Structure 1
Amino acid sequence: NPITVYAVRENSRTTLDYLLTLKNLDVDQPNLSGENVLMMASLYGLLPEVKTLIDKRAATINKSGWTPLHYACTNGHQQIAEFLLDKGAQVNALSDSDTTPLMMAVRSGNIQLVRLLLDRGADLQIRNHQGFSAIDVADLFNQEEVSRGLRSRWEKLYKTKYEGGPKPVSAESKTKG
């Protein structure tokens, strides 16, 4: 519901908490940008509200395109990402541009969040519509420590050094998990 999204953006937790008590409120209704209240609460790190939305209001965790997990990972909110994963969020969800939550976590620079996603099955081989993998994203955003860790994991998993840079995206390189 657009009013709930507005309450999150304006950091009006009292208003949001009140709105979430309204029985007829559709918590999955998006605003004009396609964002719903669970996505925004995930983006802004509002763990109690995320829990309420999922546990008490049955908000949708997985949807086509950008998901609450993408939004949580954007700002490095590890506790929210872990909660969403525990509730069934798809670790390899693809946005409209084939961006994964792992790519967003890499951008945030939160190494523990990146590890969490990898430990939950995030696929290092997925490339976005520009042909970039999570390792390429780490390099693009100067996340050197993250890049080193991802390259090390790549070498352990695939027994080869990572050949960086964008690659053409093929159907078999895109998987959903």
Structure 2
Amino acid sequence: MSDWKTQQMIKASGWPLAPELLLAPDADFNARLEGGLVPLHWACSEGKAGLVKHMLERGADVLDAADGEVSVAGRTPLYMAIHSGNFQTVMLVIDRLKALGAPPADEALKKRLASVFNKSHADAKNRLAQTLKDWDRIAKKS
């Protein structure tokens, strides 16, 4: 993505801090913000797929759980993405988790995903189901 397009995407995202924080060549997407979040948490919770992709491509840690009083399970990028209801954001996070060899979704997480996306287009539901099967298969090989 060109610098201009990236700048416009970040400005349009509603990112609450200075866009330059996300555009700098040395941007640290894992630096804690107020409340224990990192920029990736915000992008996932807001369902900003383009911004999530930008951050993941530049080293954002998809395994990073937010600090704070809320339970850790509810403060991971994946749970935040699911809460946003944005299918693309969820798939970006899951694809990165699979690539890192993270443990696959447990039954509770699979049910949560199914309940959030059960009214989605059939293609989305099928893609999600196949992705979860692939994640299980990859984990068994490891």
* Aligned counterpart for 2:93 among listed residues 114, 117, 120: 117
Higher helix share: 2
TM-score, normalised to structure 2's length?
Answer: 0.57
Provide the residue aligned with 1:157 in structure 2: 135
Kindly state the Cα deviation for residue 124 of structure 1 after the two structures are TM-superposed: 6.2
8 Å CA contact 1:73–1:113 kept in 2: the answer is yes
| Greater relative contact order structure (CA < 8 Å, 6+ sep) | 2
TM-score, normalised to structure 1's length?
Answer: 0.48
Q: Tell me the distance in 2 between the aligned counterparts of 1:106 and 1:136.
A: 12
Matched, 1:87 2:58: yes
Kindly state the Cα deviation for residue 152 of structure 1 after the two structures are TM-superposed: 2.9
- The 5 A counterparts of 1:19-168 are 45-46=13-14, 51-56=19-24, 60-63=28-31, 65-96=36-67, 97-98=71-72, 99-121=75-97, 123=102, 125=104, 132-133=108-109, 135-139=110-114, 142-144=116-118, 145=120, 149-159=127-137
Using the aligned pairs only, state the percent identity. 27
- When residues 125 and 50 of structure 1 are mapped into structure 2, their CA distance, relative to the original with a 3 A threshold, is farther
CA offsets 1:80-101 (integer angstroms, 9 cap, x no match): 1111112211012112422321
- When residues 151 and 121 of structure 1 are mapped into structure 2, their CA distance, relative to the original with a 3 A threshold, is same
Compare CA radii of gyration and give the structure with the larger one.
Answer: 1
Q: Cα RMSD between the aligned structures?
A: 3.4
Structure 2 spans left out of the alignment, 5+ residues: 1-9, 138-142
Q: Tell me the distance in 2 between the aligned counterparts of 1:76 and 1:121.
A: 17
Structure 1 spans left out of the alignment, 5+ residues: 1-41, 160-177
